[in-house]
A and B are shown apart, each in its own frame.
Chain A
Amino acid sequence: MIEVPVAPSAAALPAGRALRQRIAGNPLMVAGAILVILMVGAALLAAVLAPFPGDAGTATHPFAVLRPPSAAHWFGTDQVGRDVLSRVLYGARISPLIAASVLLMACAIGLPLGLAAGYFGGWLDEVIMRITDIFLAFPALLLALALAAVLPASLTSVTIAIAATWWPWYTRLVRGQAASVAGRPYIDGCRALGISRRRIIFRHILPNAITPLIVQISLDFGGVILTASALSFLGLGAQDPTPDWGLMVSEGQAYFTTSWWVVTFPGLAILIAAFAFNLLGDGLRDLLDPKTVDAATRPKRSVLR
């Protein structure tokens, strides 16, 4: 997903009353947080909440195929008679997990490269940033498609394929932060004091780069969920009994004109998941980045600033 790079400056979280006030002034973030909590709850309690837990797997009910929504099956049944609601609930265990793994992997690659490029500069910086540019010139979905075609279709492949396209954003972000900090006088001071390079990087550069990284990660969560579901929709991700939302939409496509529910509910789940994380990420950015805060809480700037 494209986020136009507005590097948020490292800022401390406001505390106490100010924090509560700012959160209260951002109802969208609160809504996002509630949706995320509901989704995590659904994932954790899927076994209890799902009316037919067995339907998340290979269960088949040949005499209950493609039944419309009813009291017994709120979301109807799919092409082999499985309860769609149960599968959607179990699906909540998959998408956020994939997104978290992708972002973790992307950070594991992007963070060290960005720190190295930003701190050391020179030819190392040039080489790392040009490689980053090459990967950024790829549309993420296209490279992920090519990689997912090479790897055997599975959730692991999808995770690897998306992570391979996601890390350059983090390298670029961290590099910018690291480079700006590395030039400050206090870092020169550290060097003059003979503090080891490793300590400078991890104690003095890294903490300054981490806040914008966290903001970006929270903003990216929804995008990764969308990309992963798109790959699953194309058949490159999870395979049949897995209750993956993208795969469910893809499988339901053939029956869609007569049985609208098989596609509608899993797709709605993808939309709500991405929406929830995007709301939350957006709110977190406002919270952590003083530059974009003005929204509702700050009074209009006076003429005499």
Chain B
Amino acid sequence: MTRYIARRAVLAIVVIAGVVVVTFVVAHLIPGDPASTWAGPHATARQIAAARRFLGLNRPLPVQLGSYLAGIATGNWGIAIHTHRPVLSDIATAAPASLELVFAALIIALLVGVPLGLISARWRGRAVDHTVRAGAILGVSMPIFWMALILQLIFAQRLKVAPAAGEYSAGLLFTHPLARVTGLPVIDALITGNLPMLGSTLAHLVLPAIVVAAYPAGLFARMVRAQVLDTTGETHVLMIRALGFPERTVFGRFAMKLAWNPVSAAIALVFGYSLVNTFLVESIFDWPGLGLYAASSIATLDTPAILGVALFIAIVYVVANLIVDIVQATLDPRIRLS
């Protein structure tokens, strides 16, 4: 088991290093001069040259790559051109908002997708099955930037039942300031017992979370249905049927148990996917997360910041997959022995 984990971990590091190299090359192909952006619009030639030296841009590309890789290992991800702050602390500021959005979306997706998948499998071939399948495919076909705009128009502007944008009502900051503990506003409001702020953060979270949940909810419903149908032919499930357990128990308890393994693998995959999907939603809901940061980085051709975001997301991807591999290998000896 230790050998299996070690092997997977080494592979994960190789993959992350590869991602850094590829992004580094791509980012340096972006036309434009980061040094003049950094120095500002009215900088003199001498100031720009000084900025170029300061940012290390005058060195050959391989040397820059080498020192960048060395920096990552020691927690120095470079300095963002457009904020003049260390990239890592910029990401630490922005990431919690995005993570909160993804967590909320995945919870919604599981709460909606798993029961629907079970219902669909239980009554397969019936009208309810076709409806759920069509709904699930509709979910994975949703252009989420469009869905975000439509929901915002209907629920925030016309019906006025949800706030249009932001993480919480800024006005509340004067009466009930939000203490930063974890960086996730909902959690922070909860653990500091800041009830008015908790209500505000939850209300602001609902619409963007539903939008990000569309894809994973459809995916989970389809997977659970397929997996459960697959397992209903297994002998132990037949045995449970033969013992006279009601169909609800057969599907909900026994067939579902076998479906959890692939669903948990899908959660890891869809986590990274949804994190990038928030990029499309954050600008619409003015959500101060990684997506807004990435958008402003790309707009200002901020190479270190773009690299940092790509690296951060690659790490999330790879670590999520690694955790799933390890959990699955722990549960199922066939995986680690093959």
Contact = CB atoms under 8 A, between A and B. Distances in A.
B141 A222 contact: yes
Interface string A128-159: 00110111011111110111011000000000
Contacts of B137: 28, 275, 278-279, 282
A263 B140 contact: no
Interface string B125-165: 10001100110011011110111011001000100000000
B313 interface: yes
Interface in B303-321: 306, 309-310, 313-314, 317-318
Main secondary structure of the interface of B (DSSP, over half): helix
A138 B301 CA distance: 20
Interface in B229-280: 229-230, 232-233, 238, 242, 262, 265-266, 269-270, 272-273, 275-277, 279-280
Interface residues of A, number: 57
Interface in A2-27: 2, 4, 6, 25, 27
Interface string A178-203: 00000000000000000000000000
Interface string B68-111: 00000000000000000000000000000000000000000000
Interface in A207-265: 222-223, 226, 229-230, 233-234, 246, 249, 253, 256-257, 260, 263-264
Interface string A279-304: 10010000000011011100001010
Contact of A138 (B14, B229, B310): B310
Interface string B173-201: 00000000000000000000000000000
A267 interface: yes
Closest 7 CB pairs of A and B: A267-B146, A134-B18, A296-B125, A274-B141, A139-B276, A275-B141, A270-B143
A137 B314 contact: yes
Interface in B1-54: 11, 14-16, 18-19, 22-23, 26-27, 29-31
A256 B145 CA distance: 13
Interface of B: 11, 14-16, 18-19, 22-23, 26-27, 29-31, 124-125, 129-130, 133-134, 137-138, 140-143, 145-147, 149-150, 153, 157, 219, 223, 226, 229-230, 232-233, 238, 242, 262, 265-266, 269-270, 272-273, 275-277, 279-280, 294-295, 298, 301, 306, 309-310, 313-314, 317-318
Contacts of A249: 143, 145-146, 149
A271 interface: yes
Interface residues of chain A: helix, strand, loop or mixed (majority): helix
Given A142-B313, A149-B298, A222-B141, A4 B149 contact: no
A229 B18 contact: no
Given A137-B318, A142-B313, A271 B14 contact: no
B150 A28 contact: no
Contacts of B140: 1, 222-223, 278
A224 B281 CA distance: 18
A226 B153 contact: no
B30 A28 contact: no
24 contacts: A2-B273, A4-B223, A4-B269, A6-B226, A31-B134, A133-B11, A142-B309, A142-B310, A143-B22, A145-B298, A146-B30, A149-B298, A226-B142, A249-B143, A249-B145, A249-B146, A260-B153, A263-B146, A274-B142, A274-B143, A278-B141, A295-B124, A296-B124, A303-B242
Scoring B140, B280, B301 by chain A CB atoms within 10 A of each residue's CB, the highest score goes to B140
A38 B78 CA distance: 52
Contacts of B22: 134-135, 138, 143
A133 B15 contact: yes
A25 B30 CA distance: 52
A146 B141 contact: no
Given A150-B30, A249-B145, A275-B141, A130 B276 contact: no
Most buried by B among A142, A229, A264: A142
B149 A267 contact: yes
Contacts of A268: 146
Nearest to B23: A146
Contact of B272 (A139, A270, A274, A296): A139
A146 B27 contact: yes
